[in-house]
Structure formats: structure tokens, C-alpha cells
Structure 1
Amino acid sequence: MYIKALSESEKMQLKQRSNRIKELQEQGICFGCYNFETDEIFPGEGLIIYEDDKVRCQFEKFPRATGQTTIVAKEHYEDISEMPLELGTHILKISNAIIKLHKEIIGAEKVYMCTLCDGKRNHLHFSLFPRLKGETIGFKNFVKEDGILMDYHETVEIYKEKMKELV
């Protein structure tokens, strides 16, 4: 698994995704709920490493960090302030397992976690940003240039199997 710089057509694909999200938000439609129904915005494309009745966890197709993972609540909450405590506990349990795997499988030294549920009609999600050995420490990991995830299918299968053992 590695990240490749975006080609012009991939930059256009990412821009189209962003525009589609904005379009849905302007219509008062939650893009996260819409995606669960259609798989249009964030298609699985073999990126899902864990899923249960409460969350879906998948590698980001256009990551800023190797192994960047999105954890999405299946039920709609605008942001963390609406999230039930039980869901938060569940998300931390799942995050902890994924972070351990990021350290074991891709050699992450640290893994940053954030939630950026901002704007109109958002959907609660968290992002995990692994920091690999030799990479810059701190907030700059959140603002790296987007890339595209390559050769990830084998890694996804490893994560899926190990998540069964950890969760």
C-alpha cells in the first residue's frame, strides 16, 4: 500500500466528489446518509476494513497520510455533541484496534485522530492519520497534499482478518 501523487484526472475526480458533497449539503441532504444508501460519494471499492451495525471503517481513497482511515457512524449525527456516549465508547474501542494495526502493519509511530464535522448537513465521522517514521511531527499531517491510495487490496485483507481477532 502506498500513496501516489494525483494525476490531473484524479484531481478532477476528487474535485467532483467535493462538489457533489456541497451540492447535497445545499439541498439539505446528508452526504454520509446518502452514501450509505448509494455508495456514490465514498464507494467501498475494497477499502472497507471493518463494519458492524454502528460504524464503517475504511481507508481513504484520496489520503493525506498512508493508511488514513475514516470511521463513520451509521446512524446520523451532525457532530460529536449529538453522539451517544455508548457510540463514542464503541468508536474508541474500534479506533484503538485500528491504531494498533497501523503500528503493527504499516509501521506508524503515532496515529492522530480528528473529527471535522463542519458545514451544512454533515455526518459524524472520525479520521485516523498515521504518522510513519521520518515524517513530520504534528498538525502538518492534516494539511498534506491529497494523493491516491495504490496497491491496497492485500493490506485491506490483512486488516480485516486482524480486526476479527481484536474486536
Structure 2
Amino acid sequence: DRLALLELAVLENPHEARPSHYLGREYFYRGDYSKAEAELKRHLTLEQGAWHGDRAASMRFLGWIENRRKNPTGAIAWFLREAAESPGDRGPWVDLAQAYHDAGNVAGCYFAARQALSIAQRPRDVITYGYAWGERPYDLAALAAWRLGLKDEARAFGEAALKLASDDARLKNNLDLMRGR
């Protein structure tokens, strides 16, 4: 069993960062958020074998745990740390934009979505998630821009989102609304 092997690896190498990250991630995937949180936080204290990509991913998982606990403030704090750890990756910024959106912080959502969209090159040195390179950052930017009164910008972002997900009825309806149809 993979979990038993990861637990053994951490037991045998308690000062190694990589097995700690993988164990925390495995707990997360299994829905054991208390153990995941403890191990991922422990991972962030380790220096031996620490890699910024794993550190950022641990912060992402911690943010996702806070989301599942319905704690937007905690999620935002972890996503801010993730963005600081890996600023050249869209993922942290999209996670942050979504967390701000969910918390009702329109300006924060707009800022983070724009930061995500300013990154044009998908990094090859970290694990990336497809949602950050699809319609989601454009959709979040469109929603926030609309609520901030930036109507032309909102329409442009909405068009870009729909271009990437042309079968999404919500995106189409939002864009129709933005166009006054």
C-alpha cells in the first residue's frame, strides 16, 4: 500500500522534505485533512531536500484544506504564501483569485486574476494544473471586472473565457448579459 510506504519513508528519513510532502499529499487525497495538515506544515519546516515546487504545492494543499473547512481567511493566507513561493506560476494566483471571489473580495479577485493572466509561459520546473491555463482565470477576471464597473474589460475577459470553453452555458450567459443581450 502506497500510504504505508510513504509513512515508512518519513519514519526512516524524518528530516527529508520530499517524502514528507508526498505523505501529506497522500493524506489529502485520501480526505484525512487533519493528518494532511500536520504533515504538510511539518514539510514546510524541513530544509533538507526542500524544493520550491513541493513547498508551493504543500501551501496549495493547505489552502484547499481551509477551503474545505469553509475558512476563506485561512485559504487566502495559504494561497498568498503559495504565490510568494512560486510567483511565476499561474496556479497560485488562480487559487488566490478564486478564494478572494468566494470571500466576496472583488478587488482581490481582480488583482489575483490579472496577476495570473500576466504569466504567459507555463513553467516547466513545477507541477501545474490545467485549470490555471484554461478559462478560469479569464472568467474570474471577467466577473471581478464587471462588479468593479470595468465593463469593457469584463467583456474582453468573458470573450477570452468563452473562447477556451465554448460549451460552457454559464460563460455564454454571462457574456450575453455583459453585452446587454
TM-score over 0.5 for the pair = no
TM-score by length of 1: 0.29
TM-score by length of 2: 0.27
